[in-house]
Amino acid sequence: MTLPSPPSLGIDFGTTTSLVAFGRPVDDPRGVKPTVIPVDHDEAGAPLDALPTLLYFPSTKKLVIGEAAREQLGLRPDRVVRRLKQLLGRFPRVAVAGRAYATTDLAAAVFRRLKRAADAHLGARVRDVVVTVPASFDATRRRALLDALSATGFAVRANTLLDEPVAALAAYLHGRTSRRLAARGGSGPASRSERDGIDFSAERTVLLLDVGGGTSDACVARVRPEGDGLAVELLALSRFTPVGGDDFDACVARGLIQRFAERSGLDLDSMPKGDRLLFQHRMILTAERAKRDLSSPPADGVEPVAHIRQMFLHGTHHLLETIDRARYAELVSELLADPRASASGPSPPPGAPLSVLDAPWDALRKAGLGPSDLDAVLLAGGMALVPAVVDAVRALFDREPLVVPFPLTAIVAGAVVQAFALAGGRPGLRPAAAIAAESIGVRTAGGGFHRLIGAGTPLPARVVERGAFALPHGWGRYVRIPIAEGDEARPDRCRSLATLALRFPRRLPADSRVTLEAALDENKVLSLRGFLDADPSISAEARLTVGAEEQPPMDTDEHR
């Protein structure tokens, strides 16, 4: 007798679009077949797989999520929350039309929408889920995401979160075998790996870059044959690079607005704020459409062009413009800058634009490799469809990158493969064990950085620093520990994450020494314990909490 197995569920919570997919066991070597669940519908009522991660508040009591919220972007942008994923864990609240909403509540509303669609589709309440996050999302952001998932009714387990590029790599490798590629002269269908030319009969080193709407994220991994299947070992993950499709759209919109201003003589700075916001959003939507038009494959060998027809708000001025791929690449060139120029240089000035290529270069450097050590460069995410991105990756690595099949759904498919493996299934692939993306440690006096857990350390990890701190006289009960992450060789570039407070049960004697124990779990959430060296029974624990430090709410019109 075989018992029905619960379906494996995966969620890709994206900056621009979110997806939910499931998989049930199948009777072939793949073990599971991920399938995306429709969560939304278009104006005509046709089902849509992707849920735009946009939240529209028609009133303070009503919330609309998805495609219907997108329609409001060009009408009531002040009432639409965009880029929620980028706010979560950084801004406790967001203000819409004068009212503040907790970002974890908004994320929970998105997860509830996805969960409801999944439960209805599957006819069961599924509590276990794997949710993808940018590889280098810091502990605070992860904590916020996990809080939102628990509030939705999902179970939070050790491996609930999965790094996005690792998920995309798992989806790509899922169903591929270690069988040697051979010219088989028509004896049976070629496997998928034969079609795309990667032979996994021996160990291969691959880099995968996921470029989405808000983040560029990379992993470097070794893929080894293991029986008939494959095993993945992660070598490195990139640092956080919040640059993606939204930045391309904003950049092109700025170029178009400038052109508009030159032609019409309009002074946008003197416009009422509401009008300016509306105009900017319309230009961003226009830029996004142009990007899609330019990414479609050449028809009859003729490369596509994008026609811009934009009317000023009140219909008095028009912008008519045609953009080809070369012009587009020129407009977004700063977002595709070669990272080699800045890698060894001084700190980039604050606010300097990031490049999509920073992530893969950082991961490659952390793996201690160069471009010629790689056997393949894979691309995933919606921006993998943009020719300017593919061209820039080709130029950096001096090889043809391979866009994974279904680049927009590969990440959620990888989450399903991971969920299936965690539930004890055999997907023909041994998924990678999590590693730390960045070194994590303590900010020391004078801007230094004391590393606790190094980049690339397999997780869960625990370190104990005996007598780490000598407490000055009169310290009291609290020990505040400023946590930072980054490259220990470049303390000036380390990012402060949070200050964790160890609250001891009583006042500590002067000149006490405290031992620090830091743990990073598989979800990459950090916790600290402090012990008094003289009496280890006196200890205090600190966990990362979200929204502990008061910040003003983020306003919806502070868009980029």
Ligand X SMILES: Nc1ncnc2c1ncn2[C@@H]1O[C@H](COP(=O)(O)OP(=O)(O)OP(=O)(O)O)[C@@H](O)[C@H]1O
Residue listed under structure tokens 């045609």: 322
With CB under 5 to 8 Å by kind, the binding choice for 245 among ligand X, Mg ion, none is ligand X
One character per residue 171-210, x = contact with ligand X (rule: CB under 6 A): ----------------------------------------
Residue 93 CB, nearest approach to ligand X (Å):
21
Among 229, 381, 414, 431, binds ligand X (CB under 6 A): 381
Q: Does 292 bind ligand X (CB under 6 A)?
A: yes
Among 66, 214, 360, 428, binds ligand X (CB under 6 A): 214
- Which of residues 126 and 131 has its CB atom nearest to ligand X in the complex? 131
Q: Is the peptide bond before 189 cis (omega within 30 degrees of 0)?
A: no
Size of interface with Mg ion, in residues (CB under 5 A)? 2
- Which of residues 23 and 244 has its CB atom nearest to ligand X in the complex? 244
User: How far is the C-alpha of 150 from the C-alpha of 523, rounded, in Å?
Assistant: 14
C-beta of residue 522 within 8 angstroms of C-beta of residue 434: yes
Name, in order, each residue with C-beta under 8 angstroms of 346's C-beta and a sequence gap of 6 or more.
Answer: none
Name, in order, each residue with C-beta under 8 angstroms of 3's C-beta and a sequence gap of 6 or more.
Answer: none
User: How far is the C-alpha of 376 from the C-alpha of 374, rounded, in Å?
Assistant: 6
- For residue 503, what are the CA distances in angstroms to 182, 450, 463, 531, 539? 64, 21, 20, 11, 8
Give the binding range for Mg ion (CB under 5 A) out of 14-22, 181-189, 277-285, 320-328: 14-22
Question: For residue 484, what is the enclosing H or E element?
Answer: strand 478-486
With CB under 5 to 8 Å by kind, the binding choice for 414 among Mg ion, ligand X, none is none
Helices 387-397 and 358-366 cross at an angle (nearest 10°) of: 30
Q: Does 212 bind Mg ion (CB under 5 A)?
A: yes
The closest residue (CB) to Mg ion is 212
C-beta of residue 510 within 8 angstroms of C-beta of residue 447: no
Q: Does 385 bind ligand X (CB under 6 A)?
A: yes
Q: Does 491 bind ligand X (CB under 6 A)?
A: no
Give the binding range for Mg ion (CB under 5 A) out of 208-216, 288-296, 395-403, 466-474: 208-216
Taking the CB of residue 197, how many other CB atoms lie within 10 A of it? 10
Among 14, 25, 34, 244, binds Mg ion (CB under 5 A): 14
Q: Does 136 bind ligand X (CB under 6 A)?
A: no
Among 382, 428, 441, 530, binds ligand X (CB under 6 A): 382
Among 245, 414, 427, 431, binds ligand X (CB under 6 A): 245
Burial of 549 (0-12, 13-18, 19+ CB in 10 A): exposed
- For residue 94, what are the CA distances in angstroms to 87, 100, 546, 554? 8, 5, 14, 5
Q: Which residues inside 85-124 make contact with ligand X, applying CB under 6 A?
A: 85
C-beta of residue 393 within 8 angstroms of C-beta of residue 209: yes
Rounded CA Rg of the chain: 25
One character per residue 393-432, x = contact with ligand X (rule: CB under 6 A): ---------------x------------------------
Among 92, 165, 244, 255, binds ligand X (CB under 6 A): 244
C-beta of residue 534 within 8 angstroms of C-beta of residue 510: no
Residue 409 CB, nearest approach to ligand X (Å):
9
The closest residue (CB) to ligand X is 245
- Which of residues 134 and 431 has its CB atom nearest to Mg ion in the complex? 134
What residue ranges bind ligand X (CB under 6 A)? 12, 14-17, 85, 212-215, 244-246, 288, 291-292, 295, 381-383, 385-386, 408
Residues that bind Mg ion (CB under 5 A): 14, 212
